[in-house]
Chains A and B, each alone.
Chain A
Amino acid sequence: MSDVLAAYDRFLGEALPEDYAARVDHYRHDDHLRTEFQVASFEAGWLVPDWEPGLGGQGLSSGDALAVRVEGARRRVPKIHNVQGVGVVAPGLRRFGTPAQQDRLLRPVLRGDEWWALGMSEPGSGSDLASLRTQARREGDVFVVNGSKIWTTQARESRWATLYVRTDPDAARPHAGISCLILDLRSPGVDVRPIPRAAQSVDAFCEVFLDDVRIPADNLLGPLNGGWRVASESLEHERDMIWVNNWVEIAQAVEPALRRPDLGDDALTELGRILADAEAVRFTGLRTVFGRLSGRDPDEFFILKLLGSEAAQRATRFAMESTGVDGLLDAQLMEDRVESLGATIYGGTSEVQRNIIGERVLGLPRDR
């Protein structure tokens, strides 16, 4: 084991209860432990290991940081509660934030003291995000915002949101007229309404109504009308974490089946197919990592979201079908099953992923 992994192992030994491995399914959902573990990871530099000390990291190389992430996923460390805060917002703040914004906001989001929501989707703008209509009008040193967001995960528990708004309705391309504002969800004119969800396992999402909300101009994140870049570069940071988690989740969903001696031929074939998916996610992920290290921009990256989310769904289907009627007695199986249906919707639906592969990778003509 490398020195880095040995050190991470020591950290986990101290930060997690002794019986963590034995009772991981219980502990992983323990909110108190999740909070404490995030703070401990931040303080000890294991939260974002390739970042600098003081920002949850210790300046590790990207290869070592990946090894730590893989190890964490494999050992099923407690889930970060407000995952988009650490995974999307913090990289965006670090990349685009002013010194004042970083001073005020980075530490609390990384420690989990202040949660963040992503205000992107709107009732009329889902896959076609660039068509978003929430308006921001500059008045002196504030933006006055009107409109609404939907599917905003954890908006109710969050203090802040990255709010994508139209600041130039006349831009030549719709993408070019969007800006990102930092919204204090406690501002007057903000109304957050939870949306009842299909299952407990679906993250709590909300509608956010914005009625003449005044946001200080200092809260612009990144350049005016540069919101599209802020969104895509913020999301990029998590790209490796997504496939690492997918790989582990798929393997875990089929794990109980590996203990069963009574699976028939069809079930074994399907199990093998899912194992192939899981390992293909992993090795394709590694190919993209090593490809980037040698200065390439690997096309095969674009299969990871589609293959990973579709495979996760096949894995939960297998988990239910291979247990038959008995499976219906286990509430968690159905929770996992419903949760996996979301994976092919959020973060770009499977159909949109196929468009991206067809157009960006294969070079086929756009259909719009």
Chain B
Amino acid sequence: MSELTVDGLTVRFGAHTAVDGVSLAVPAGSVLGLAGESGSGKSTIARAIVGMAPISSGSVRYDGTPLRTPDRRIQLVFQDPAAALDPRRSIGSSIAEGVRAKRTARRARVRELLELVHIDPARANLNPREFSGGQLQRVCLARALAAEPEFLIADEITSALDVSVQGAVLNVVREIQRETGIGILFISHNLAVLRYLADTMAVLRAGKLVEQAETETLLGAPEHEYTKQLIDAVPGQE
């Protein structure tokens, strides 16, 4: 397993520069938390990495070589789990799509994946509408893992969820990361969520990277004025 590197990434939509010369590196088996406010370009970076947004300049490399998408080794989990699952197919068949195996082995693997994200495998035949948002997001994680990726990009995967179910999703992400040693780029506007999961953190503002450091350092002793503002604005601090 190897490093994902983003080098001088720039994404333009017409005259608007959404991402402006961003460089990031996520070492194998580590979690990079990407923070920033709305419109700062977080999702665009995620989409550019997996080939869903046009790269104007710069490069995305995996294992040292330029990434050719779609690449099963890198999977993306979306913000809205209900929109990310085909409403007419059972969750089991959505997950099975990513599994490369013979029929019976495939079914066993789907069970395994569901168990991994703490969803009762007996419910594999149900359609997405029978599940809560938090459960659906765990199903989406299971589907991403079906491809046995080496790297996961999670784009605001708990923002559409109620706090009561957000915890379960975060726990699953952490468990998976520890058990499989997968690398994760975890994107969120919520610093508390990032703090809980990330080894290192990067802060994005208006398409540009303002600061990148170990999580403890970045939150404990931020250097950039903007990072300080963000930390101060986190609600619920005494």
Q: Is B one of A's binding partners?
A: no
Q: Which A residues lie at the B interface, using CB under 8 A?
A: none
